[in-house]
Amino acid sequence: MVVKTVRGTSDILPSDVSTWQALELVSRNLLEAYDYREIRTPIFEQAGLFQKSVGECTDIVSKEMYIFSDKKGRELALRPEGTASIVRSFIEHNMHTQTLPVKLYYMGPFFRYERPQAGRTRQFHQIGAEAIGIEDVTLDAEIIDISMQIPSKMGIKNLKVMLNSIGCKECRSKYVKRLLGHLKNRIKKLCADCNRRYSTNPLRILDCKKSECIQNVKDGPTITENLCAKCRNKLETTEKHISSLGINYQIQPYLVRGLDYYTGVIFEIIHSQLGAQNVVAAGGRYDNLIEQMGGKPTPAVGFAAGIERMIMLLGDRSFQSNNSVYLAYLDFPMHEKVFELLSALRKNGIHTKTTYQEKTLKNQLKTAAKSNCRFSLILGTNELSKGTVILRDMKTSTQEEIKLDNAVAIIKKNIPLVSPEAKPSPFKVGIKADHFVDVNKMIKPGS
């Protein structure tokens, strides 16, 4: 048997990578504009980090984490989510001494041992951001704004924001008592899962999909109506902020979150075309987590967006650019002059294709057309003897003979560059990439 990818993982092939890169580029530019800086934390951490932060009772930690021991017997885990590592890093590097808030973003792979399904794989990828150190609802609104804008900028439409607050420690525990009181006599009517939740995580009963549970929850108290004055005010101010940005939202009183660390305002961005896994991005406030993890009391808010889910919503849309050149030649093996031109084009940052085996001109042009080349250069014996080259515009099917020495300069003038200098560098601050790749102008091959 040949070796295949393990269950729940997949190769992202070159034909799909352009979409990933476009999404990553758009996200980076957006996050940097909002003054977030990228952080890269290890893929594996001490298992205890996630047990403490995400919560020992959550399925993520109790059933779905990839845990293993290294040769010294240390218990390690592949990271199942991003916030825990960032909080660890924030504390470990004394980031509370920096100007607050500390605003960080990340993108990369995460791992959960789940049954694969539409929009759910064992290795999956998220883009996320955290604003740590300031308890201002403006940041809550900013986080919601960003998590809406990333998919929106990629051209994903019909997104809905679901908003709620699960309150602070005080009002939530009061509410949970009221909820349990309401459900006490109805517990037999709830589904088996909710019977378990009644003792482990009662808030999760609120978002059960079973009709018998919805029935019994519906006439009970909601967390939204039972917030303390402070939490209520925060939710309302967040609403005001995102309304002013023109974001359509809906208060969803039964929206809760699965991870233990959330407090206060929480949200989900959903899309109906995703099937059961309809959450594109989600997040909220976690004002107690940093203290709980051994840091100073520090408020924070963040979000994570599922890359695969956004890619699913992008469907067949292609983000491949058509700014390449095909160098066709007729005498094999490749003449020294052809090789020099090829190298000169590439050194000038021009994406250049050619053939490395004997092919007819017809075949070479066919390849050029198929791979969506903007221009072809044709360099045969005739041209070589005259010191010229034929420049063929593949869009208009017109061509002209130009001086070989001018070829690079002429093409450079007519094609957007792809040289490393032209790309936005993650190491330089403030470079705008819009002149390099405008997603809206990217061309679908064949269109």
Pick the stretch among 32-40, 219-227, 278-286, 435-443 that binds RNA (CB under 7 A).
278-286
Can residue 209 be called a binding residue for RNA (CB under 7 A)? yes
Within positions 344 to 363, which residues make up the interface with RNA, using CB under 7 A? 359-363
> Rounded to the nearest 5°, which phi and psi values hold at 352?
-120, 130
**Residue number, 61 or 424, with CB nearest to RNA:** 61
Q: What DSSP state is assigned to residue 106?
A: E
- First CA to last CA across the chain, in angstroms? 41
Rounded-to-integer distance, Cα 235 and Cα 168, Å? 12
Position among 210, 232, 335, 337 found at the interface with RNA (CB under 7 A)? 210
Position among 212, 276, 340, 347 found at the interface with RNA (CB under 7 A)? 276
Question: 303 to each of 16, 106, 166, 267, 403, how far by Cα in Å?
Answer: 25, 11, 16, 9, 55
Rounded-to-integer distance, Cα 260 and Cα 87, Å? 14
Angle between helices 307-314 and 137-153 (to 10 degrees): 40
Within positions 121 to 150, which residues make up the interface with RNA, using CB under 7 A? 121, 124, 126
Can residue 335 be called a binding residue for RNA (CB under 7 A)? no
Can residue 259 be called a binding residue for RNA (CB under 7 A)? yes
**Residue number, 6 or 429, with CB nearest to RNA:** 6
Nearest residue to 140 via CA among 151, 129, 150: 129
Q: Return all residues near 215 (Cβ < 8 A) that are at least 6 apart.
A: 189
**39-40-41-44 Cα dihedral, nearest 10 degrees:** 150
Can residue 285 be called a binding residue for RNA (CB under 7 A)? no
Pick the stretch among 21-29, 108-116, 166-174, 338-346 that binds RNA (CB under 7 A).
108-116
Within positions 364 to 383, which residues make up the interface with RNA, using CB under 7 A? 365-370, 378, 380-383
The distance of closest approach from Cβ of residue 399 to RNA in the complex, given in angstroms and rounded to an integer, is 6
Position among 17, 214, 390, 433 found at the interface with RNA (CB under 7 A)? 390
> Rounded to the nearest 5°, which phi and psi values hold at 88?
-55, -45
The distance of closest approach from Cβ of residue 115 to RNA in the complex, given in angstroms and rounded to an integer, is 3
Helix (H, G, I), strand (E, B) or coil at 17: helix
The distance of closest approach from Cβ of residue 292 to RNA in the complex, given in angstroms and rounded to an integer, is 17
Position among 21, 46, 94, 117 found at the interface with RNA (CB under 7 A)? 117
Within positions 151 to 180, which residues make up the interface with RNA, using CB under 7 A? none
Rounded-to-integer distance, Cα 411 and Cα 51, Å? 57
Exposure of 6 in the CB half-sphere (CA atoms within 13 A): 6
Nearest residue to 33 via CA among 103, 135, 114, 93: 103
**What x-and-dash track marks residues 58-97 binding RNA by CB under 7 A?**
xxx---x----------------x----------------
Contact 164, 251 (CB under 8 A): yes
**Residue number, 256 or 424, with CB nearest to RNA:** 256
**Residue number, 340 or 393, with CB nearest to RNA:** 393
Pick the stretch among 4-12, 222-230, 402-410, 430-438 that binds RNA (CB under 7 A).
4-12
Q: Please give the single-letter amino acid code of residue 28.
A: R
Q: Please give the single-letter amino acid code of residue 372.
A: N
**Residue number, 18 or 277, with CB nearest to RNA:** 277
Q: What DSSP state is assigned to residue 143?
A: H
> Rounded to the nearest 5°, which phi and psi values hold at 403?
-70, 135
Rounded-to-integer distance, Cα 125 and Cα 66, Å? 16
Within positions 19 to 58, which residues make up the interface with RNA, using CB under 7 A? 58
Size of the site for RNA (CB under 7 A): 69
Pick the stretch among 25-33, 112-120, 169-177, 231-239 that binds RNA (CB under 7 A).
112-120
Q: Could you tell me the two tokens for 73?
A: 């017997």
Can residue 204 be called a binding residue for RNA (CB under 7 A)? yes
Binding footprint of RNA on the chain (CB under 7 A) = 1, 5-8, 58-60, 64, 81, 112, 114-121, 124, 126, 193, 197, 204, 208-210, 257-259, 268, 275-277, 279-282, 304-306, 308-309, 330, 359-363, 365-370, 378, 380-383, 390, 392-397, 399, 446
